[in-house]
Amino acid sequence: MATILDLGLLKGFTDIFVWILVFLIVYGGLEVTNLLKNKGLHALFAFVITAVVVLTGGATNIITAMAPWVIVIAALFFFILLLSGFVGVKPETVVNTFGGKGTGVVWYVFVALIVILVVAWTQRPQELVKFVIDEQTGENVAVEQTQRPFIGVLTNPKLLGLFLVLGVGAMTLALMTGAGGTIGGMAGH
């Protein structure tokens, strides 16, 4: 069944996505800390570290396994800040509530990342059997595929459809409540 939200084609680009992600994280970290005091050296160092990480298959698998969970944590933190903003609380107040001057939030995120790393490190790929019709004989043939279990859940069309419906609903509410409750903020036009 063909769906709009089918992400099966993106699995072929996993190494490219991991390459870009690792490069951006290492380069950004070097730029923020200004460790080598030269943007060219930062880029070269980030490129070398990225090449080492991507060319070792184990590191790529761990990063691929961790990425969805890190995105879920980031989205959860973003939505907490967004919801607190809806009720009039400043983001600084929310961050201070979770751990005084931002240090507590760092520890919460750090512990969550360690748990995600351990789970990703210990998780084995799941063998899946998919049946396809052989064009020559017309029979069903079993084809084995390797996929991580939670990726199968995250790429399930029903779950992605749910996220789409929730996103459309959230945007609809945001547009309807903007500018005093008028639709799209168009009062009197």
Q: What is the pLDDT along the chain (189 residues), one digit of tens a residue?
A: 456 666 666 666 777 888 898 999 999 989 999 988 889 999 999 999 988 888 876 788 788 888 888 888 888 888 888 888 888 888 888 777 776 655 666 777 778 888 888 877 777 655 555 666 777 777 776 666 555 555 566 667 777 777 888 888 888 877 787 744 444 445 555
Contacts of 105 (CB under 8 A, 6+ apart): 95, 98, 99
Do 119 and 145 have their domain in common? Answer: no
The pLDDT assigned to 118 comes to 81
3 is a domain residue: no
Contact 105, 97 (CB under 8 A): no
Do 119 and 132 have their domain in common? Answer: no
The pLDDT assigned to 7 comes to 64
The Cα 25–Cα 70 span in angstroms is 13
171 is a domain residue: no
181 is a domain residue: no
Q: For the chain, how many structural domains are there in total?
A: 3
Do 21 and 49 have their domain in common? Answer: yes
Pairing mode, strands 126-133 and 140-147: antiparallel
Using CA atoms in the order 116, 117, 122, 127, what is the torsion angle rounded to 10 degrees? 70
The model's pTM: 0.52
CA distance readout (Å), 82 to 25, 32, 76, 88, 176? 25, 26, 10, 10, 17
22 is a domain residue: yes
The pLDDT assigned to 6 comes to 62
For 69, list phi and psi in degrees, rounded to 5.
-70, -35
The pLDDT assigned to 167 comes to 81
β-sheet bridge partners, residue 86: none
The pLDDT assigned to 149 comes to 52
100 is a domain residue: yes
**Phi/psi class of residue 134: alpha, beta or left (left: φ > 0; alpha: ψ in -120 to 50)?**
beta
Contacts of 139 (CB under 8 A, 6+ apart): 133
183 is a domain residue: no
182 is a domain residue: no
60 is a domain residue: no
Domain that holds residue 134: 125-166
Between CA 105 and CA 106, with CA 82 as vertex, the angle to 5 degrees is 10
